[in-house]
Chains A and B, each alone.
Chain A
Amino acid sequence: MNAYKKVISDYEALHPDVSIDYQTFPYDVYNQKLKASFSAKSPPDIAEMFGTWVPEYSKNGLLAEIPGSEQLQTEYYEAPLGGYTLNGKLYGLPLEFNIENGGMLIHPQMLKEHGIANPPSTWDELVADAKQLTVRDGKGIKVKGFDFVSGDNITFTFLSMILQQNGKYWGENDHVDFQTPEAQKAMTALTSLIANDKVADLTTFGGELDTSDYFFQGRSAMTYRGPWTVAAGLNTYKVKDFEYVPVPSFTTNPPSFSAESGWGIVASEKSKQQKAAVDFITYMSSNDNLLAWNQSTFTVPAKKAVAENPEFLKSNPYMKTSLDILQLGKWIGPIADRDFFFKTINDHFQLMATGQEAVEKGLQNIEKTINESQDQHK
């Protein structure tokens, strides 16, 4: 919030004729608040949007085009820009790279106590270490060896494992294709972590705490989560004896990963102050302003120049793991209904992991359900 206030007051100082009324809303109601305001034809001049929400607005002609699309597309990474792009044009600019993959939180002390000198460097090592690190008591798993069971990470890990085999998960006509050998292999390995390797369980899934909260409470040794969780560990839990290290690729290929377009800013097409709104977006997206914004919000830069600026890494050393792989990120793709997409994969993952559904059948069901949803939004 302070990061926005700072950039707004700087802009107002440079443009005395412009006054920006900054309003905030709780996340739970924000998406619906936005939809209501755009539907009622009284949208804000400028709005912060999650990249995955943007296509619904841009394809209905509700957002102003950002000039200089061609140049801007070379300045940003592919994944954060995907959601803001429609027919080669940009309808807003991302402020951050929403990366949930590629890095994990580890407790080095727990690894040492189990005779593990370094974090795993291959997938097989990861599984072997996770098995060793898992602690059980009479009630079940007390400390999870490798926790990836969160609403985001099941899906992101599954999709990334397909990409790491050089596979694809999008078919024709904006339909997903999960009948490939790569998808089968990825889901089999993922469900096996629960069913056979037993390095994590489903007991905390869907609860009110995040997997990173359990990690900082000492209830998992390695937890797959985005770098944004580091701030919670440092500030909320006041934990310092942890590291954020790379998650090895599922194959010998580089650790490619799938990512959504994260938070960014858009201007309304109907805005009476459209020119000033677009100008503010351009101003906020300057390298200096984005550097300051990413530093103070502990977010990963979406713009290459900011990510490559040594100042950024100096101020956020935990980000190194994520910064090293940003160029490997692929936009998740044209998902029509984000929550439904993730929920469908998560629901069937649980059924497959607990043996209530075979992997092949589960993937068929996921594909059928998601493609029906994709068709409904055309």
Chain B
Amino acid sequence: MATPDDSRTSGIGLQRFGLGARPGQPRDQRDAARESMLAEVARGVVAQPLNPPFSGAAEIGGALFAFEDKERMEREARRVAGQAQAMQVAAAPPNPQAAQNPQAPVAPQAPAAPQNQMAQPAKPPNEPPLPFKTYRDEVVARVQLALEAESGFAERLVQFWSNHFCIAATKSNIGRSMAGAYEREAIRPHVFGRFEEMLVAAESHPAMLDFLDNRLSVGPGSPAGKRRGRGLNENQAREILELHTLGVHGGYSQADVTNLARIITGWTMVGREAVLGFPGSFAFNIGLHEPGTQPLLGKDYAQPGKAQGLAALTDLAHHPATADFIALKLARHFVADEPPPTLVASLSEVFRRTQGDLAAVSRALLESNAAWNAEPSKIRSPQEFLIASYRALSRKADPGQILGPLGVMGQPFWQPSGPNGYPDTNAAWASAEGIKTRIDVAAGWGRQAAGSVPDPRALTEDILGPLASPETRQTVARAESKPQALALMLMSPEFQRR
């Protein structure tokens, strides 16, 4: 493998395909970024976050339902206690303690406990409710992994695929609690595996079935459909075709959407009653499944039960339109808004020839000189900007310092405003308001990190190396303060573009 000889081209590797340099990273590690990324592909394994809050979707489901049940009981207890107190107040002289703070909610177990007695081992103050806490802990676990990664190529692929098959943590308690687990279970294991396996894992994950409503979809001719008169919800079927496989111009019709919706009826999540398994886990519920043969894209699917959906998804994964769609998205993400057509064509060719072997496709991307030599034109997304900045400044994964900045920059983890995920073009992220917000954020990071960086000029050399322009070097050197110098480095064109 020939490494690009131009030092500037070689310097872009960690930025374009990875998550950016860390201080003190050996020169040869950066110059050999291509080899080290290819080695990541060869290993074929993507790291999993350490210490996630729950082991998996089923465990989350159990905890979440228990949490919601407890909340409901407490609300009810508060309501009853409130009524009882109101009656007491009406009947007796006012209680001085209550009068002091009439707004305070009454704790259900210990309404009259003396102040020196702990009512119960309460959760620490400011501890958020379970779904938010779970989300926060998953974010921290994910960021930690990204900060520790040597090159970050695999993590970038995780971000890409997680956004391709996105779910939204904001949809419901289920989404908020399961967003991290979804990525760990449906995306990470398949990044260097087969596309069809990632597709099935994503479409059958409870988080996706909740996000795109298939959880509630009922075949009109199924036992439940006949009994309850409920019916289809075609949301997930539509997005499978439009966003996850063929692409919107992939040649399907409204009838295909409806038929795919019928095909995947019964793909659902076990509810709190735990009839079909552990609450929160995936289940195929035959009682919801539309019986019979369904046509899709000119082919009949007669398989019984869940096998019908698996067969349809496998065919969609191998469809040529899917190969083209994925190739374009990958090249756009890593290389340029308008990527070189030859690169797109070659990625699509590899995808088709290998029937969606994602290790082969990733290898083809890294080995492409067209991908490697393109001018750095893409602006880093807010998530990439945050990770690259934290790596450069040796910051830790503190939740408050992640959620806030990503929120204001418009790209919090797992919260796209629609099922098409976050945009992946400069028009979206290099806007006037976007840049202004980034500067505000960078100014804050500069202030916070100034104490731990001995010399911003040296750090700029270390992080940007051959990429740094004379103008950027001079601008950093002439800054009026260390915090400002760091903000200037983070906002320099060479740090922003990859």
A binds B: no
